[in-house]
Amino acid sequence: MPTTPKKQNTSGPERKMLSSAEIKAALTTRIMGKSIHVFEEIDSTNDQAYRLAEHGAKEGTLVVAERQTKGRGRLGRSWYSPAGLGIWMSVILRPDLPPATAPALSLVAGLSLARTIEDHLDLNAELKWPNDCLLDGKKTAGILTELSAEKEKVRFVVLGVGINVLHQRADFPAGLQNTATSLALAARREIDRVQFLCAFLRQLEDDYQRFKKEELTPFLDPYTKRCGLIGARVRAQVGNNTISGRAVRIDPTGALVIARNREEIVVRAGDVERIR
């Protein structure tokens, strides 16, 4: 159900709900968010964006929800998406690029988010390959990129971003309280979700336009600078295989290169943890 701006009924501080009119008024983009769909509740903004894209929705179409009932993360995990506390959003992209370049878009979006956090909130954001954004060593945001392609052509990409914004510690389930944080917790102040969302979309648009022309090359240094895994000993879980070694770099396709003994292993997807 589309929303109109109203106050949310929670026990915490009174908070404005997201509205498409407010987002439109604060947006300074040319593509991202030119069409906006705001829902009070949806299964998953990625699923909704995918449905819209299959029906021809334009590049830049934005889907935002106050709450997701089936928010999804990578590797089949669920994504905790309570009402009124986060930015749960997906954008439809239609880059004229081969499908193999799509995973790199997750890295670009992660970097756009880190840059927005730094510029807007004056915090140091860490990127955890491939698509997590951390503050104070805890996860603040994750990115889930889904692709529809035919032969060698991308039909569309759904770029889903989940950002914990206003959560206090007790707002997270017990199992997440030690590993997750929010922008408000890290910045120690309330954050305006609309202003932050619009600043992020602006940064994402700039970075996306550059990515389409130059692919990942101009992003490798700024990504690596923020990626706590590079140079560290890591353990990567890739399907049923575990690879331990030193993370040495991100390659131009966005894969993580791990050095083990005298060989280099290119990891394209998986879960990676630092080890001692």
- How many chain residues interact with ligand BTN (CB under 6 A)? 21
Q: In terms of DSSP bridges, do strands 86-93 and 153-164 run parallel, antiparallel, or are they unpaired?
A: antiparallel
- Interface with ligand BTN includes 37 (CB under 6 A)? no
Question: For ligand BTN, what does the binding mask look like between residues 86 and 125, x meaning CB under 6 A?
Answer: --xxx-----------------------------------
**Residue linked to tokens 């990625």:** 46
Contact pick of 44, 106, 140, 145 for ligand BTN (by CB under 6 A): 44
- Interface with ligand BTN includes 130 (CB under 6 A)? no
- Interface with ligand BTN includes 46 (CB under 6 A)? yes
Contact pick of 127, 144, 194, 258 for ligand BTN (by CB under 6 A): 144
Judged by beta carbon, residue 38 or residue 245, the one nearer ligand BTN is 38
Judged by beta carbon, residue 59 or residue 264, the one nearer ligand BTN is 59
Distance of closest approach, residue 64 Cβ to ligand BTN, in angstroms: 9
Distance of closest approach, residue 131 Cβ to ligand BTN, in angstroms: 6
Of all residues in the shown chain, the one whose CB is closest to ligand BTN is: 142
Amino acid at 226: R
- Interface with ligand BTN includes 80 (CB under 6 A)? no
| CA distances from residue 14 to 17, 64, 66, 85, 167 in whole angstroms, order as listed | 10, 20, 15, 11, 13
Amino acid at 37: H
What is the DSSP secondary-structure string of the chain? ----S-B---SSS--BPP-HHHHHHH---SSTTSSEEEESSBS-HHHHHHHHHHTTPPTT-EEEES-BSS-B-GGG-B----TTTEEEEEEEE--SS-GGGHHHHHHHHHHHHHHHHHHHH----EEETTTEEEETTEEEEEEEEEEEEETTEEEEEEEEEEEE-S--GGGS-GGGTTTB--HHHHHTS---HHHHHHHHHHHHHHHHHHHHHHTTHHHHHHHHHHBTTTTSEEEEEETTEEEEEEEEEE-TTSPEEEEETTEEEEE-S-EEEE--
- Interface with ligand BTN includes 79 (CB under 6 A)? yes
Distance of closest approach, residue 63 Cβ to ligand BTN, in angstroms: 8
Distance of closest approach, residue 176 Cβ to ligand BTN, in angstroms: 12
Contact pick of 58, 77, 169, 268 for ligand BTN (by CB under 6 A): 77
Judged by beta carbon, residue 107 or residue 245, the one nearer ligand BTN is 107
Tell me which stretch binds ligand BTN (CB under 6 A): 31-39, 158-166, 181-189, 229-237: 158-166
- Residues lying near ligand BTN in the complex (CB under 6 A) are found at 44-46, 68, 71-74, 77, 79, 81, 88-90, 132, 142-144, 160-162
